[in-house]
Amino acid sequence: MSERRPPRTSAHELERYAGLFASRTRVMRSSAMRDLMAVTVRPEVISLAGGLPDTSTFDPALFAALLGRLPSAAALQYGPSEGLAGVRDAIVKVMAAEDMAVDPDEVIVTTGGQQAIDLVTKTLIDPGDVVIAEAPTYPGAVPTFCSYEAEVIQIDVDSDGMSIDALEQTLLALDAARRRPKFIYTIPNFQNPAGVTMSLERRRRLVEIARERELIVLEDNPYGMLRYEGEGLPTLRSLEAPGPTDENDFVIYTGTMSKILSPGVRVGWLVAPRPLLAKLILGKQSTDLCSSTLAQHFVSEYFAAGDWRPYVASLCDLYHRRRDVILDALAEQLPAAASWTRPQGGLFIWVTLPDYIGTTDLLARALAENVAFVPGEAAYADGRGQHAMRLNFSSSSDEDIREGVRRIGKIVAEQVALYDTLTGHRGGPKAGSGERPAADSLAAPASPASPARQAPEPAPPPAAADAGGEGLAHILQLPRRGSLGGRRSREA
């Protein structure tokens, strides 16, 4: 048996193969969540980082029964690129639950919601084209936009979602520069990472702008059914009134089974104007031919087995409680200078710390204490978000949420004390006031090296702040598990 070759350093490998890489690899970015995954799977690490639903809630007996019903020959075979008919029928049911009427022939089954974003970007974006997104935006979308060399212009969000006034100003500036965005990317419900929801007034205005300017809006709605407070709001697609020839059809809608069933099935979907469907299917065929037929048959059996909505309702109850737990913990552990959002649904809270605390460096300290979060910079294409973090509360127990926030609070308190010592400044009241701050504006100041871009000036290469596209990899070099023996083990 031959010995395993010792790994070479990444720098050495890059030097050897540098001449082979396509130019677009210079602007590729790693995903913050994927970078953290290798660390957060360790049982001693409390992860408030990944957007993981609690899959332990799924009935093991039902899981086994569904697997036993799969048609083995068909489930192990290739399938149509647009997806199996049974899955598209199930997607129609899910969308109907949010008051959207859709024809199964308008649906493309994708390998998760992430592939849906990738397919739209691949189909519409040439290098240098403009994509408008929220600020902050889904951290998984940033690497996708960068990979296709888009120029990303981000519009600040507040407690009512994307600022439509700021969007209109940006569109006017683009008009003056004789430029036009290829699409506007938005997560209207319980936005990832901020947890905020776009108001009805802003939704209506966004749909009007899309119609007036004939602009594509990519509506990403993974969390819409995870509402546990307040009244539901119509989706952008349901507000749109397509004409008989699709002349008013400018919303591309994407959803996923990841948050209402399981991320492991890797089943998402796109609903697009008919003129775009053929090109999107061609893009999918060149990527993976078809999504997993095994997973699709599982989804079909699940929806055929009975009413799927009680399971979603049970998830909402669970996440509601955990949301309250993390809000209480934040109020107890973080200093008065910190603020955070209070989502009415979904999986995330956005925390803003004093501007002298950088959360990327803070993450390195947090990982040494066996707790993880997503630094705010991952949600921006231009270097902002340095003083913010995304926290997830859906996949951790109440005890782990409290302990994880306590560890983060301890590290933040150390940074505040150090700042006070160095500057003679008093950071204000200590943590534990019992209040629940909520940020009215989530606008993040730009770093000196990376000005915030809300107008169409040429962007610096996205990789400038992330040389080599290594993302968070440089702070994830932790001791191996055996050297962490003194740390608390996370409960199963």
Which CATH number characterizes residue 26's domain?
3.90.1150.10
455 found inside a domain: no
Same domain, 379 and 264: no
- Residue 341 sits in the same domain as residue 236: no
DSSP bridge pairs for 220: 254
Residue 470 lies in a domain: no
Distance CA 118, CA 111 (A): 10
CATH number of domain containing 157: 3.40.640.10
The answer to whether 49 and 40 have CB atoms below 8 angstroms apart is: yes
In degrees and rounded to multiples of 5, residue 396 shows phi and psi of -110, 150
Look at the alpha carbons of 419, 421, 423, 427 in this order and tell me if their dihedral is positive or negative.
positive
Tokens of 252: 């591309």
Domain that holds residue 385: 11-57+311-446
**CB-CB contact of 467 with 26 (8 Å):** no
Question: For residues 330 and 366, what is the distance between their CA atoms, to the nearest angstrom?
Answer: 16
pLDDT of residue 403: 98
Q: Is there a single domain that holds both residue 388 and residue 299? A: no
Neighbouring residues of 127: CB distance < 8 A, sequence distance ≥ 6: 24, 148, 149, 150
Q: What is the DSSP letter of 445?
A: P
Whether residues 196 and 319 fall in one domain:
no
Are 64 and 277 contacting, i.e. CB atoms less than 8 angstroms apart? no
257: which DSSP letter? Answer: S
Does one domain contain both 376 and 336? yes
- Among the candidates 250, 271, 304, a domain finishes at 304
For residues 53 and 393, the answer to whether their CB atoms sit within 8 Å is no
Does 209 reside within a domain? yes
Is 239 in the same domain as 181? yes
Here the tokens at position 468 are 């080599």
- 87 lies in the same domain as 48: no
pLDDT at residue number 443: 58
The model's pLDDT over 88-120, given as tens digits with 9 standing for 90+, comes to: 999 999 999 999 999 999 999 999 999 999 999
Whether 478 maps to a domain, the answer reads no
Query: Same domain for 182 and 330?
Result: no
* Residue 242 included in any domain: yes
Run means of pLDDT, 10 residues per run, the chain, 492 residues: 58 76 81 67 90 95 97 97 98 97 96 98 97 97 95 98 98 98 98 98 98 97 97 96 64 98 97 94 96 98 96 98 98 96 98 96 95 96 95 97 98 94 70 49 49 41 38 40 34 30
Whether 451 is in a domain gets the answer no
For residue 62, being part of any structural domain is answered with no
| Res 423: pLDDT | 87
Residues 347 and 246 in one domain: no
Last residue of a domain, one of 304, 322, 343: 304
Q: Give the sheet arrangement for strand 388-392, strand by strand.
A: 339-340, 348-352, 388-392, 374-375
Same domain for 350 and 431: yes
Do 300 and 373 lie in one domain? The reply is no
Residue 253 half-sphere exposure, CB side, CA atoms within 13 Å?
27
Query: Do the Cβ atoms of 466 and 378 come closer than 8 Å?
Result: no
Q: Among the three residues 287, 304, 321, which one is the final residue of a domain in this structure? A: 304
119, 229, 316, 394, 397 from 321: Cα distances, Å: 36, 11, 9, 10, 10
Cβ-contact 347, 53 below 8 angstroms = yes
- At 356-383, the pLDDT tens digits run 999 999 999 999 999 999 999 999 999 8
Q: Which strands sit side by side in the sheet containing 268-271, from one edge to the other?
A: 107-110, 268-271, 251-256, 216-220, 181-186, 130-135, 151-158, 161-162
> What distances in angstroms separate CA 305 from CA 38, 67, 70, 225, 262, one per listed residue?
35, 12, 12, 20, 16
Residue 3 inside a domain? The answer is: no
Domain count of the fold of the chain: 2
DSSP state of 258: T
Instruction: Name the percent of the chain in helix, strand, coil, to the closest 5.
Output: 45, 15, 45
Structure tokens at 255: 């959803």
- Contact present, 27 and 125 (Cβ < 8 Å): no
Task: Say if residue 252 is in the same domain as residue 330.
Answer: no
